[in-house]
């Protein structure tokens, strides 16, 4: 992680593994009554035009409402994600939503638009998290509180411009490592040569 001298870092420990919604609630005393961003570190996003969160901050400045970073997924994978129910497309890549469901089966999924680890949320979410009941996997789900916040506020799904690496899976983590190494100015050449040598000398099956 890159530490910047112009930023204060405050750490809050989630004492019990009660779910993402609970983890976000633990940050309430630090965040206070301000809009805030949630970044799930296992979703590494290589933004194309600009960083994914930067894209979302610019949209927040325009729409002044909660935003969910989303991408299209394979219909068979809905059980791994929070899935949004899209309502109306209101701009390129921006859609209003009328529901969110945590990890639905493919038959119950309202779409194939999945929330992937980037959120900008208004502080209104905290009141819903305070009394959020356990949901999928027996955890306090951020997705469920977002669904309730929708009863009071507009929330937009944003299909970011970039590539996501699912670093919560071994394959995604390895793909990110290889691709970032092949772009690194010091590593590109020696690592590329190593990979070529390794792949040409090692049978894959």
CB of residue 125 to ligand G1P, shortest distance in Å: 14
Binding ligand G1P by CB under 6 A: which of 104, 168, 172, 181? 168
Q: Look-up: residue for tokens 């309430």?
A: 28
Q: What are the phi and psi torsion angles at 51 (to 5°)?
A: -60, 150
Establish if 135 lies at the interface with ligand G1P (CB under 6 A).
Answer: no
Establish if 69 lies at the interface with ligand G1P (CB under 6 A).
Answer: no
Establish if 132 lies at the interface with ligand G1P (CB under 6 A).
Answer: no
Establish if 40 lies at the interface with ligand G1P (CB under 6 A).
Answer: yes
**Residue 159 or 191 having the CB closest to ligand G1P:** 159
Q: Interaction with ligand G1P in 136-155: which residues (CB under 6 A)?
A: 141-143
CB of residue 20 to ligand G1P, shortest distance in Å: 5
Count residues binding ligand G1P (CB under 6 A): 14
Establish if 84 lies at the interface with ligand G1P (CB under 6 A).
Answer: no
CB of residue 203 to ligand G1P, shortest distance in Å: 34
- Helix H, strand E, coil C: the string for the chain is CCCCCCCCCCCCCCCCCCCHHHHHHHCHHHHCCCCEEEECCCEEEEECCCCHHHHHHHHHHHHCCEEEEEEECCHHHHHHCEEEEEEEEEECCEEEEEEEEECCCCCCCCCCEEEEEEEEECCCHHHHHHCCCCCHHHCCCHHHHHHHHCCCCCEEEEECCEEEEECCCHHHHHHHHHHHHCCCCCCHHHHHHHHHHHHHHCCCC
Establish if 99 lies at the interface with ligand G1P (CB under 6 A).
Answer: no
Establish if 116 lies at the interface with ligand G1P (CB under 6 A).
Answer: yes
Tokens linked to 79: 């059980």
Binding ligand G1P by CB under 6 A: which of 20, 52, 125, 149? 20
Binding residues for ligand G1P (CB under 6 A): 20, 40, 43, 81-82, 102, 114-117, 141-143, 168
């Amino acid at each position: 992680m890159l530490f910047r001298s112009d930023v204060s870092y405050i750490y809050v420990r989630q004492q019990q593994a009660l779910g993402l919604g609970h983890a976000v609630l633990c940050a309430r005393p630090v965040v206070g009554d301000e809009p805030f961003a949630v970044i799930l570190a296992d979703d590494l996003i290589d933004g194309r035009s600009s960083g994914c969160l930067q894209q979302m901050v610019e949209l927040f400045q325009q729409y002044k409402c909660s935003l969910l970073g989303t991408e299209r997924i394979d219909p068979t994978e809905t059980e791994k994600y929070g899935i949004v129910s899209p309502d109306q497309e209101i701009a390129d890549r921006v859609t209003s939503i009328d529901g969110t469901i945590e990890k639905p089966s493919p038959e119950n999924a309202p779409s194939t638009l999945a929330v992937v680890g980037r959120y900008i949320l208004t502080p209104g979410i905290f009141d819903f998290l305070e009394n959020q009941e356990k949901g999928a996997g027996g955890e306090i789900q951020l997705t469920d509180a977002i669904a309730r916040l929708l009863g009071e506020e507009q929330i937009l799904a944003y299909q970011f411009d970039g590539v996501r690496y699912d670093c919560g899976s071994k394959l995604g983590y390895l793909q990110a490592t290889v691709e970032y190494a092949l772009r690194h100015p010091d590593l590109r050449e020696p690592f590329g040569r190593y990979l070529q040598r390794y792949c040409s000398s090692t049978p894959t099956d």
